[in-house]
Structure 1
Amino acid sequence: MKIAIACDHGGFPLKQELAELIKSLGHEVIDLGAHQYDKVDDYPDFARYMGQAIQHGQADRGVLLCGSGVGASVAANKLTGVRAAVCHDTYSAHQGVEHDAMNVLCMGARIVGVEVANELVRAFLGAKFSGEERHERRLEKVKGMEAGG
């Protein structure tokens, strides 16, 4: 899969390590920044880059980091077709894909350490949407809400 990764200054210390892990798992990494530490950068900018990569088919999934993961998740979900969630446990990281077709994993680099983040990324990337009727039905309802219905 093609996996985009992006972060603001809060997520910057964790991004490179996760990019290396993603590569080691056999995925292509698309690095959307930040490319250097800048204490005044803004998470919505990187959430937009992530969302656009998903929307345009440049990435199949994404890993988005900020200090808590919350701001990045809120911003990313404003973009059509993005289903982002903050996950700080492995069950949510894989179940969000399997049941909810989550395509962006958000994490707080100030909340989780590198080992937990590695496990979360493994769980997220190892999961597949179930395609079960109930999950498809729910996904269609979410898409309808996204379209303004």
Structure 2
Amino acid sequence: MHSRNHCYYDKSGVFLILTGTDTFSDAVETREKDRNMRVHIGTDHAGFAEKEELVKWLKSQGYEVVDHGALTFDSEDDYPGFCIACAQGVVEDPGSLGIVIGGSGNGEQMAANLVDGIRAALVWNPEVASLARLHNDANVISLGARQHSIAEMQELTKVFLETKFSGEARHARRIAQMRDFEAARK
């Protein structure tokens, strides 16, 4: 049996994908509970200004934010350390999620994915942000500061933070296969 997903924007402008058994009221109730979630964030100079804006916005939305840097603008800094620190923060803080930001988001996603237990997804539209959580249980998103306005980055972040993993067997099985590979490398 195949369940259909229903995609739409709610009255506050949040992009939702509801699976077969979800209801709109379930989604709203779940989202409200998650407002106390911690969000880890990291970037280099390429996303510094956008990170500062996202941190303010996230706090205004009720999220607790852990900033892994850069804490000051330095045009010569490098993203791997900030993104790896953000990813490690997510792994060490069960129930939290993370955001890494760079020029394109590509290198930042790669750096975050070096940390065991991280499933970082490069997102570029609301559907991809939602599917990263719904199907892949992504725990970090990567955003390209040179690709998106701050308003677009807020929308992508909101969708990511408010979407739940579907828990469907086929998706859980695939995630387990990745975890098994990760464990075998040790």
Q: Same fold (TM over 0.5)?
A: yes
Instruction: Tell me which amino acid in the other structure corresponds to 2:82.
Output: F
The equivalent of 2:144 in structure 1 is 108
Separation of aligned partners in 1, 2:38 and 2:128: 21
Instruction: Tell me which amino acid in the other structure corresponds to 2:170.
Output: R
Instruction: Tell me which amino acid in the other structure corresponds to 1:147.
Output: A
CA RMSD of aligned residues (A): 1.3
More RCO (CA 8 Å, sep 6+) = 1
Structure 1 residues 61 and 102, CA gap change in structure 2 (3 angstroms): same
Q: How many residues align?
A: 149
For residues 109-128 of structure 1, the C-alpha deviation after alignment (integer angstroms, 9 at most, x for no partner) is 01111111111011001111
For residues 70-126 of structure 1, the C-alpha deviation after alignment (integer angstroms, 9 at most, x for no partner) is 000011101100111110111111110111010101011011111111110110011
Shift of 1:130: 1.0
Provide runs of 4+ in structure 1 moved above 3 Å.
none
Q: Which runs of 5+ in 1 are unaligned?
A: none
Matched residue SS, 2:62: coil
Matched residue SS, 1:100: coil
Q: How does 1:44-123 map to 2 (within 5 A)?
A: 44-57=80-93, 60-123=96-159
Shift of 1:147: 2.1
For residues 12-59 of structure 1, the C-alpha deviation after alignment (integer angstroms, 9 at most, x for no partner) is 010011112211222111111111110111110111111210121177
The equivalent of 2:42 in structure 1 is 6
Structure-1-length-normalised TM-score? 0.95
Range 99-108 or range 18-27, more displaced? 18-27
Range 109-118 or range 21-30, more displaced? 21-30
Identical-pair percentage:
39
The equivalent of 2:54 in structure 1 is 18
The equivalent of 2:184 in structure 1 is 148
